Chains A and B, each alone.
Chain A
Amino acid sequence: MAKELKLMKGNEAIAEAAIRSGCDGYFGYPITPQSEVMEHLMAEKPWEKTGMVVLQAESETSSINMVYGGAGVGKKVMTSSSSPGISLMQEGLTYLAGAELPAIVVNVVRGGPGLGTIQPSQADYFQATKGGGHGDYQLFVLAPATVQEMYDFVFLGWEIAFKYRNPVMILSDGAIGQVMEKLYVGDYVPRWTEEELRKNAPWASFGKPADRKHHIITSLELDSAKQEQHNHKLQAKYREMEEKEVRFEAINCDDADYIFVAYGSSARIAEKAMQLGKEKGYKIGILRLITLFPFPKKKIAELSTKVKGMLAVEMSAGQMVEDVRLAAEFRCPVEHFGRYGGIIHTPQEVLEGLEEKIIKRK
């Protein structure tokens, strides 16, 4: 595949990836710090290039339900927003999960709670990985750390979303969304033809041909026995994701005494902190999470038997750290370090956090 080098913001990379990955429709609503996604799409006019639909909705509530509609008829559809907007989308997300519809939802996280701030944050981890909406469901959550990954994870997102018939969230943050970096983009993947759609999404409500009964896309099942069966099916799917789809990057973990567990922007800051630590003689590794759900429980369990401690580095008051602790099962100390409310921690602060909470721990 021919590769072309570009300089882009993370948000623009999402938009570019949408067009180049054969996305059928994007439905969004402006919110800082992710508005460049729709701005880039509108400027590129993909409806002239690929036939992709781009629409500015009247609210995030509406845009996620447009996504539900598009996904229900088998199209590759997506939306993006930032934290307060994603809160409004929780209704749509639980319906998507309940009706088993594939879609991509990008959250370029900003500080909260409430209207919060427009600066970067990672405080939506709970919302992304623990439900957010009502009922027992899971989003598949990808955490990009570079502009390149913002681009690549859209392609990966379609694969996962259609393979499992499940919504995929790309959980980014204001820093990755706004930063400009070089990235390689590939050739345009054509949108699915009608025949391909029928082959790849045979379950969808794309219009009833004469030779089959009607398709119904719904999350409603009033018979509780059947609803429980449906829930069993969903849970089996989530367990399969945990078995097959865990993704992470282990950096210098093999002979490390200490591990930074981090994702997204924090993983990059932790990498610098690791170098600073090396100068002081500490053997530090990084477990950079790429999938937040499914969570790399086994890898953390394995590392927890070998190291002196782990520091969960995240721009929140401590959310991912709970999952790290559960996986480590008290085999080693696990602590949290992070600035939040829109403040980004420095590598120096992260290293000091490690020294204070783990290395000099009494």
Chain B
Amino acid sequence: MFNQDIVKPENLVYKRTDVLTDNVMHYCPGCGHGTTHRIIAEVIEEMGIQDKAICVAPVGCSVLAYNYFEVDSLGAAHGRAPALATAIQRLNPDHHVFTYQGDGDLAAIGTAETIHACNRGENIVIIFINNGIYGMTGGQMAPTTLIGMKTATTPYGRNVELNGYPLQITELLAQLPGTYFVTRQSVHTAAAVRKTKKAVRQAFENQKNKKGTSFVEVVSNCNSGWKMPAPKANEWMVENMFAKYPIGDIKVDGELVQK
């Protein structure tokens, strides 16, 4: 049997979406970025909005996200993605502008841009990858680093006296009247991937209906930064990260979810 005998439409069970490019991703094996990229790209394809989608990439591990999305893109300065997205969306109200940001970008250096874009209720989608560490720069403390967690700049573990508390920015943003949909998901299991995809779809649908800001946090691992094999990193994430950053919807249709 030859390759051409196998590659036939009737044999097709999985095809990479055309909204992803052919470029080989630079992410570490086992990292959640690649899966999250694919989810976003599939949603863009399924909604038929590739010509109206504009990606604003951050600084951090996903600084090169624009190399992987086959949509028009801009690379922002560190933390400024929501400011770019604000202007682009206001200048093109029928487009689908989304930012893709990590915890350092969104919740440390870009806190002001994040809060004010959400507070104005900008009609943008924000995808927030929270792995509790600065991956790109070599594993330093992030605003979301857990107490006691060892990083390159907290070699003895995050200490409240020295470093303050982990920032639950997603809960904070949910309090703002401008946010319409705020959810926290993960991509460590097939079931979690399906839920995240549903959430991302919901976010882009809200945008289509001009509902205001939709915010999807994806709690992810960083096996390199956490210095663990990928399966162990996922276990550690479920045990520790989910305790501080519980999975589920926080605000739906503009209303806080009652717990």
Contact = CB atoms under 8 A, between A and B. Distances in A.
Interface of A: 24-25, 27, 53, 55, 57-59, 61-63, 65-70, 72-73, 75, 77, 91-92, 95, 99, 204-210, 213-220
A186 to B, nearest CB: 24
Nearest to A219: B75
Contacts of A70: 87-88, 91
Contact of B74 (A59, A61, A69, A213): A69
Contacts of A216: 66-67, 72-75
A214 B73 contact: yes
Given A25-B91, A205-B74, A68 B80 contact: yes
Given A62-B112, A207-B95, A214 B21 contact: yes
Contacts of A92: 77, 80
B87 A77 contact: yes
A202 to B, nearest CB: 12
Contact of B84 (A55, A58, A72, A213): A72
Given A53-B90, A95-B77, A206 B112 contact: no
B72 A208 contact: yes
Contacts of B57: 218
Interface in B111-157: 112-113, 116
B85 interface: yes
Nearest to B57: A218
A218 B58 CA distance: 11
Interface of B: 21, 50-54, 56-57, 63-64, 66-67, 69-77, 80, 83-88, 90-92, 95, 112-113, 116
8 contacts: A62-B112, A65-B83, A68-B87, A69-B86, A70-B87, A205-B73, A208-B72, A218-B73
A206 B54 CA distance: 7
B72 A215 contact: yes
Tell me if B's interface is mostly helix, strand, loop or mixed. mixed
Contacts of B112: 58-59, 61-62
B54 A73 contact: yes
Which one of B66, B74, B85, B95 has the greatest number of beta carbons of chain A within 10 Å?
B74
Given A59-B112, A68-B84, A206 B77 contact: no
B136 to A, nearest CB: 11
A182 B172 CA distance: 51
B163 to A, nearest CB: 24
Contact of B116 (A62, A67, A219): A62
Nearest to A24: B91
A93 to B, nearest CB: 11
Contact of B77 (A58, A65, A204): A65
Contacts of A217: 73-75
A216 B71 CA distance: 9
A216 B124 CA distance: 19
Given A53-B91, A55-B90, 13 more contacts: A25-B91, A55-B86, A61-B112, A62-B112, A65-B80, A69-B87, A92-B77, A99-B75, A207-B53, A215-B72, A216-B67, A217-B74, A220-B75
Contacts of A65: 76-77, 80, 83-84, 87, 113
A206 B75 contact: no
Nearest to A54: B90
A207 B51 contact: yes
A47 to B, nearest CB: 10
A220 B67 CA distance: 12
Contacts of B51: 207-210
A53 to B, nearest CB: 5
Nearest to A59: B112
A57 B83 contact: yes
Of A53, A55, A69, A204, which is in contact with the most chain B CB atoms at under 10 Å from its CB? Answer: A69
Nearest to A51: B91
A218 B75 CA distance: 5
A93 B86 CA distance: 18
Contacts of A204: 72
A243 B95 CA distance: 40
Nearest to A213: B70
Contacts of B116: 57-58, 62
A354 to B, nearest CB: 45
A323 to B, nearest CB: 29
B234 to A, nearest CB: 29
Contact of B80 (A61, A208, A219): A61
A27 B21 CA distance: 33
B88 A62 contact: no
Given A95-B77, A217-B74, A217-B75, A206 B92 contact: yes
